[in-house]
Amino acid sequence: MDAAALVDEFIAAWGRLDPDELAGYFAEDATYHNIPIMPVTGRQEVRDFIAGFVGPFTGAHFTVHHQAVNGDTVLNERTDTFTFANGNTLDIQVMGVFELRDGKIQNWRDYFDLAAVTEALAKNA
């Protein structure tokens, strides 16, 4: 599977909100870094981070607006939409960088406005 196809598949998998499935896309020693906060390294640690993040949500959908591929690196500009149990949604404007190795995500960095996310989480807690 080429880099773009793997990232597209991974993004679609977020709709199932399954931390185990999502962690399966990562290399054992992968790093996931939401740039406003500290990075998480290791597949199990990535899985645990994702599990904690998706807890308040009942749905997720990522819309890719632009995507560029250079070998095993995929850049995409997205809107990540998460649905709370009360039906409200959280839209996050994201710039993502995926670096792949041997068919797995080795490094994933997302750049976004943490204040907007924190505010929406507080309103829907």
- Active-site residue list: 80, 110
- CB-side exposure of 76: number of CA atoms within 13 Å? 20
Write the DSSP symbol of residue 20.
H
**Cα–Cα dist 93/16, whole Å:** 20
**Cα–Cα dist 85/34, whole Å:** 24
